[in-house]
Structure 1
Amino acid sequence: MRHLYSLLLLCSIVLWSSCRNDFETKPNNGNLQFSKDTVYLDTIFTGIASSTYNLKVYNKSDEDITIPSIELSNGENSKYRLNVDGLPGKSFQNIDILAKDSIYVFIETTANIDNFSSTNEYLYTDAIQFDTGAKQQKVELVTLLKDAIFLYPEKFNDGSTESLSFGVDEEGNETFIEGFFLDDSELNFNNQKPYVIYGYAAVPGNRTLTIDAGSRIHFHKNSGIIVAENGSLHVNGELSSDQESLEKEVIFESDRQEPNFSDTPGQWGAIWLTQGSTNNSINYTTIKNATVGVLMDSNDGTSNPTLSINNSKIYNSSNVGLLARTGNIEGSNLVINNAGQSALQLSLGGTYNFTNCTFANYWTGSYRSLPAVLLQNYLETAEEIFASDLIEANFYNCIIYGNENRELILDPLEEVAFNYKFENCLIKFNKFGFGNNEGYNFEDETLFPNSIINEDPNFLDASKNLFMINEESAANSLANPSTATSQDILGQPRNNEPDTGAYESIIFPEE
């Protein structure tokens, strides 16, 4: 009987509690607190949705409260979108917050600059209003909206997307990549507006894509530039007077403009110089956050280099900064850092000459088994090994360094030529812990004339891609005056005792 009474009592409690409100609230008292007083949604391109940002709203009182209204100042006409405590919309009523608790507000925006301004940039603002009258509190919303030129493949009626053919694979199946050929009216990028590219923009044969100084090119995920056989790419950046804005430099990067993505590797594909492309040049350019910064395939010109790259930087590549397979490249005052594999990988032979370059790898995103610089005269696939002469790979006045013990690997196949020289270079190569050190005779004045090993380059801050050196650097006065570039990557003249690497030494700023 006692058990029956207890069961009836328990049922009564459950039924009674299910009929009451979860809690009783009091009206908002106007003392809400916020995780930020202004939400900056950073820069977006016209017509492209922003990332989702969040705002935390705190009720730090000892009482449960109800906010009568939460809404955007511009109401339904606002270009912002909200999600309040899991509910989407632009206005909300009677939102409860328990005592000593909080809720999230998520914010997004999509806007077209044509609706606001005839200029290329517009600062779009609004506010989230919490409550009305004397108890109203506001959080400002700010977004920089940029106009842009959008280039993308055509969408067909059957739902397919324009693609580029790359022949057949090993099984005889035709391979495609989403992309399109630039027409003649699109072969000159200027600095009037940024460019946003979806898919791969291809330069046709016998045509040249010219990119003017100060241009900004942004790539969506899995996008890039392809230069076809007999096509050319000319990137005509110039030395900037302001090293913060880089107003005359050309910059290739992702279309994600939020600060959280400013140094995220692998956000887009590559600048791809395919077999037979010719007369390519890149000057005063930054290439950042790609999968492969520059990829060169089977372009070993018989006389002139098929790529000349000078006074440029390649940062944050998820795979390789500069990857050449049978390439012909001349580079000077070039800086490459932070790659998931190698900063510079020269495979399947070719012809290469680099002067006053800094090849570094301070990758921390994952385990890295490859060095900053890798030289090979072969390419191994699952089915076979392809070999080609490394006609020459000359490094004059270069720094090869990083956060691993050995940042240079020479990997020859004996059947074909493997010619190299490192002259007046600073190289990190710790022999200990490696089984095979043959071919690394740094005392050989034919292969490593005037080069030094494992001395500190004393970079300003490698984690921030700042590879300036000071007078305490081992690279100071190490370069050969007869082969050194006349000025460094910043336009500073080199004196009679020039420095190795892309930068002449400076006095570091005091912390």
Structure 2
Amino acid sequence: MKRYFYIVLTLGFLIFWSSCRKDFVFSPSTGSLQFSKDTVYLDTVFTNIGSSTYNLKVYNRSDSDILIPSVRLALGETSNYRLSVDGIAGKVFDNVEILAKDSLYIFIESTIDINNYPNPNGTYLYTDQIEFDSGSNQQKVELVTLVQDAIFIYPNRDNTTKVIETLTLNIGGEIVETELQGRELLPSELTFTNEKPYVIYGFAAVPVNETLTVEAGARVHFHDNSGIIVSNGASINVNGAFSTDQELLENEVIFEGDRLEPNFSEVPGQWGTIWLLDGSVNNTINYATIKNATVGILSDGNPDDVNNKLNITNSQIYNSSAFGILGRNTSIAGENVVINNAGQSSFAGTIGGKYNFTHSTIVNYWNNSFRQFPSVYLNNFIIDEDNVAILADLNEANFNNCIIYGNDNPEILLDEIEDASVVFNFKFTNCLIRFENTNNNFTGPNYDLNDTSKYEGNLFNQDPNFLDTELNKLIIGTESAAINQGNATFASQVSVDILNVNRTAAPDLGAYQHITFPEED
């Protein structure tokens, strides 16, 4: 009986409620809408490259349901902006409803061809407006995008088959067909200037026996899965120079992705790598910033090159999703090199080779995921497809007056397969190193810290006192254990730090002489 009464009561309430319900009645808008912002800045984009999606929130603060007669772009169908209002794409919308005390989202994108507009300085400020209603009730929100002109390098495409050109590479004298989308640079493209940015789609290959010269102040941007490949007998010479403005880096060469929005400025893995193939020679990089790649620099082969396959100086490599520098049986020399934030190792010298770093800061404060490898990783082998180890000589791996640190422990790993047929030579001299062996997990002669043929004058597990590792600001402060700990002989070989400060009188470890941080004043 009670159950029957409850059902009857419930049905009666529903019938009464439904009979009293009125349909929504929408009143015309009165020009009293409110917005999350009065101007939407879509940040800088390259010509003909789509922007990110931005949003605008429109509020109805009134107690009435309202109807906006029109929501439209002021330039109408000719506008280079695109809107989505309540999930519907377009540029002009009629009778847009907003319930009382409610809101709606408008999503905004743009793709703009700068060639349609005057651009004497290589940029154009493109603007439009979103208009709500008309007449005395009209309200507007400004839209602003800075469009950057650029030189585009991209593979050819067959318009009939839609097949995109792939690369045939000369690797150590052997011709290899690849599936990498890209093409060789033309003779007219072998000098990158600072007049306009370069945007590369696919891999741009430096042809056999040619040299790509990158002038001071050049900006090189890469699309997803893109990069530069330096072929057999070919070279890349990056000729950056010291910049007086360390925010603008006006004379430095910068390699990064092609998304210019601030949200992408520190995102790892946006592009591929600068790949020095086996057989490429005389590669030099000076005053460059390489950021947000998968592997900043990949260097293969030429381990016995007397002049080194790669000489890198006064350069920074940040936010690599795998490795900052990955050497594979190669020869690399670095001075005033700074590497941070790599998904695996900041520097890995693998399959033997020859490596020499002086006054460099090689650290890893990666916090995007778990990493398996330390800041510095050395080995003398590769495992082939038959699970057989192929060994090679690690002829030398010298780290002098360096800081090797990070947010893991240890930050060096010496992964040797011992065999009388190969050598495994390394030495750390006057370095500040994070290496704690509290559980005695690292044993054997390679980890004998008292062996002066391998370790000499080093400091372990003391605070480097970096300014801000998360923002890749790795200059050291007045509390750093690295102050005045450098070997004078090595300091005389690299007499100024990466900021052009003389270090010969009292050399600090790493790429920077210390400063007083602002909070220390």
Q: Same fold (TM over 0.5)?
A: yes
> Which sections of structure 2, spanning at least 5 residues, go unmatched?
none
Matches within 5 A, 1:378-417: 378-383=381-386, 384-415=388-419, 416-417=422-423
Match 2:138 to one of 136, 139, 155: 136
Offset at residue 22 of structure 1 (A): 4.9
Q: Distance in 2 between matches of 1:269 and 1:190?
A: 22
Match 2:365 to one of 358, 362, 366: 362
Q: Distance in 1 between matches of 2:146 and 2:215?
A: 24
> Which sections of structure 1, spanning at least 5 residues, go unmatched?
none
Secondary structure in 2 aligned to 1:88?
strand
User: Does the alignment pair 1:470 with 2:474?
Assistant: no
Matches within 5 A, 1:472-511: 472-484=479-491, 485-510=494-519
* Residue in 2 that maps onto 1:298: 301
Q: Distance in 1 between matches of 2:68 and 2:450?
A: 77
Contact 1:342 1:370 in 2 (8 A): yes
Secondary structure in 2 aligned to 1:467?
strand
User: Does the alignment pair 1:288 with 2:297?
Assistant: no
* Residue in 2 that maps onto 1:64: 65
Matches within 5 A, 1:450-461: 450-461=457-468
When residues 413 and 191 of structure 1 are mapped into structure 2, their CA distance, relative to the original with a 3 A threshold, is same
User: Does the alignment pair 1:444 with 2:451?
Assistant: yes
Offset at residue 495 of structure 1 (A): 3.6
Q: Distance in 1 between matches of 2:250 and 2:178?
A: 39
Secondary structure in 2 aligned to 1:442?
coil
Offset at residue 445 of structure 1 (A): 2.2
User: Does the alignment pair 1:250 with 2:253?
Assistant: yes
User: Does the alignment pair 1:151 with 2:153?
Assistant: yes
* Residue in 1 that maps onto 2:181: 178
Offset at residue 470 of structure 1 (A): 1.7
Amino acid at match of 1:376: N
Q: Distance in 1 between matches of 2:410 and 2:440?
A: 9
What do the CA deviations read for 1:138-175 (whole angstroms, capped 9, x no partner)?
1111111000000000001311111013599xxxx954
Offset at residue 176 of structure 1 (A): 2.1
Secondary structure in 1 aligned to 2:115?
helix
Contact 1:380 1:386 in 2 (8 A): yes
Secondary structure in 2 aligned to 1:299?
coil
Secondary structure in 1 aligned to 2:447?
coil
Secondary structure in 2 aligned to 1:483?
helix
User: Does the alignment pair 1:123 with 2:154?
Assistant: no
Match 1:345 to one of 339, 343, 348: 348
Q: Distance in 2 between matches of 1:110 and 1:302?
A: 47
Matches within 5 A, 1:51-130: 51-119=52-120, 120-130=122-132
Q: Distance in 2 between matches of 1:133 and 1:21?
A: 31
Offset at residue 446 of structure 1 (A): 2.1
Offset at residue 503 of structure 1 (A): 0.4
When residues 139 and 437 of structure 1 are mapped into structure 2, their CA distance, relative to the original with a 3 A threshold, is farther
Q: TM-score, normalised by structure 2?
A: 0.92
Matches within 5 A, 1:262-341: 262-341=265-344
When residues 133 and 13 of structure 1 are mapped into structure 2, their CA distance, relative to the original with a 3 A threshold, is same
Amino acid at match of 1:437: T
Out of 459-468 and 384-393, give the one that drifted further.
384-393
Amino acid at match of 1:406: P
Q: Distance in 2 between matches of 1:244 and 1:127?
A: 32
Match 2:197 to one of 183, 188, 194: 194
Q: TM-score, normalised by structure 1?
A: 0.94
What do the CA deviations read for 1:353-404 (whole angstroms, capped 9, x no partner)?
1000000100011011210000111112442212110000011100000000
Q: Distance in 2 between matches of 1:299 and 1:317?
A: 24
Contact 1:337 1:360 in 2 (8 A): yes
Amino acid at match of 2:63: D
Q: Distance in 1 between matches of 2:32 and 2:376?
A: 59
* Residue in 2 that maps onto 1:228: 231
Contact 2:409 2:434 in 1 (8 A): yes
Contact 1:212 1:237 in 2 (8 A): yes
What do the CA deviations read for 1:324-358 (whole angstroms, capped 9, x no partner)?
00111110000000000000000001111100000
Contact 2:170 2:231 in 1 (8 A): no
Offset at residue 133 of structure 1 (A): 2.1
